[in-house]
Amino acid sequence: MGKQTATATCTAYRAIVKKTGVVVPAGVVVARVSWLITLTQVLASAVIAERWTEQALDELAGGVGPDGRDLPAKGYKALRRLGWGSRGEAGVYVSDRVRCCADEEAARALRPALHRRTIIEAILKTWPDNSRKRTDAEWTALRAALPAGVLPAEIRTRTRQVQAIIDGGGAFPSGITEVEGAPFNAAQVILAAADKQLVTVARTGERTVELRVQLPLVERPASRRDWAWHVLPVNLPRNVPGDVLKICVPTVRVSDGRVRVDLPFETEVPFAPASGHVIAAGFDWGLNTLLAATIGRLTPRGSGT
């Protein structure tokens, strides 16, 4: 048997302040979660803006910290090894665990940019005489400079970005930081980057989960006294089976005036047999869109049909 991880979007309609037992209504919960989101988003945005330089991206792409050790897989740990950890705003108190969540968000915005960067670098290096119609030789040179697996749609998109700058009268760009603005970081809190000093999650029944998290009591908390543990009861949707192996720490966000809890969970699944399949599914993906899909019955080799 193997493990499969999926995510269910749940809603937290209320909360209970753990210390006092006071029930917090939905509107107040939304406000306090929104304050936490804003605090982390501001911290993450500052890191992204500061590190949106070719030199910083070179360091991140190098995969090695100043101490010579490889960068960790976890984003917030990688940024901290590089010395890029977020810094709190003067007069506003946020714990180190909240900064971990902000650093994780920043890393998840910066790391994907490295892939786009390699494409843009290859396009700039092999810029054709006529960007709207490359010759066969120019296509060959471009493909040789590109990393493996780049899709035609990605080439078109990045070429258009560069062309827009040139058509706008700008100088020929030297890299991604002149082609794109700093990446946007989502209005969410990736609680999985923190530990039990900020968040815990536990199953309390067959269809219920209890999310325990520290939330600010005011928009700009000045000290630890402006934070409190809140217990958020969450009902699992019907698509979550009753025999899940593990409930994981979620990501929280606010959507349509409600607190959304994106809750990962693990289930046990049998390994697929290596042979004997009679039905196959095929998918053709574009850059961000499913272009086509088909399901068909497999024909045994040598059957003559």
The pLDDT score that the predictor gives to residue 125 is: 96
pLDDT digits (tens, 9 = 90+) for 169-199: 878 999 999 999 999 999 999 999 999 999 9
Say whether pLDDT at 271 is over 90: no
Q: What is the DSSP track for the chain?
A: -EEEEEEEEEEE--EEETTT-PEEPHHHHHHHHHHHHHHHHHHHHHHHHHH-SHHHHHHHHHTB-TTSPBPPSSHHHHHHHTT----PPTT----HHHHHHHHHHHHHHHHHHHHHHHHHHHHHHT--SSTTS--HHHHHHHHHHSPTT--HHHHHHHHHHHHHHHHTTPPPP-SHHHHSPPPP--S-EEGGGS-TTTEEEEEEETTEEEEEEEEESSSS--SGGGEEEEEEEEEPPTTS-TT-SEEPP-EEEEETTEEEEEEEEEEEEPPPPSS---EEEEEEE-SSSEEEEEEEEPPPTTS--
Distance CA 30, CA 123 (A): 45
Say whether pLDDT at 288 is over 60: no
The pLDDT score that the predictor gives to residue 290 is: 61
Amino acid identity of residue 165, one-letter, is I
Distance CA 99, CA 104 (A): 8
Helix pair angle (26-51, 54-62), 10° resolution: 100
The pLDDT score that the predictor gives to residue 301 is: 61
What does pTM read for this prediction? Answer: 0.86
Of 282, 281, 275, nearest to 300 by C-alpha is: 275
Contacts 24+ apart (CB under 8 A), 15-23: 15/215, 15/230, 15/231, 15/232, 16/230, 16/231, 16/233, 17/228, 17/229, 17/230, 18/212, 18/228, 18/229, 18/230, 18/231, 19/228, 19/229
The pLDDT score that the predictor gives to residue 280 is: 84
The pLDDT score that the predictor gives to residue 284 is: 73
Q: Which residues contact 117 (CB under 8 A, 6 or more apart)?
A: 57, 61, 175, 176
CB 250, CB 262: distance < 8 Å: yes
Distance CA 256, CA 276 (A): 47
Say whether pLDDT at 35 is over 80: yes
CB 124, CB 179: distance < 8 Å: no
Provide mean pLDDT across the span 90-105: 97
Provide mean pLDDT across the span 290-304: 68
Helix pair angle (96-125, 54-62), 10° resolution: 100
Provide mean pLDDT across the span 44-59: 97
Say whether pLDDT at 276 is over 80: no
Provide mean pLDDT across the span 46-71: 97
Q: Within a 13 Å sphere around the CA of 140, how many CA atoms are in the beta-carbon half? A: 3
5 or 299: which leads in pLDDT: 5
Say whether pLDDT at 215 is over 60: yes
pLDDT digits (tens, 9 = 90+) for 224-256: 999 999 999 999 998 888 888 899 999 999 999
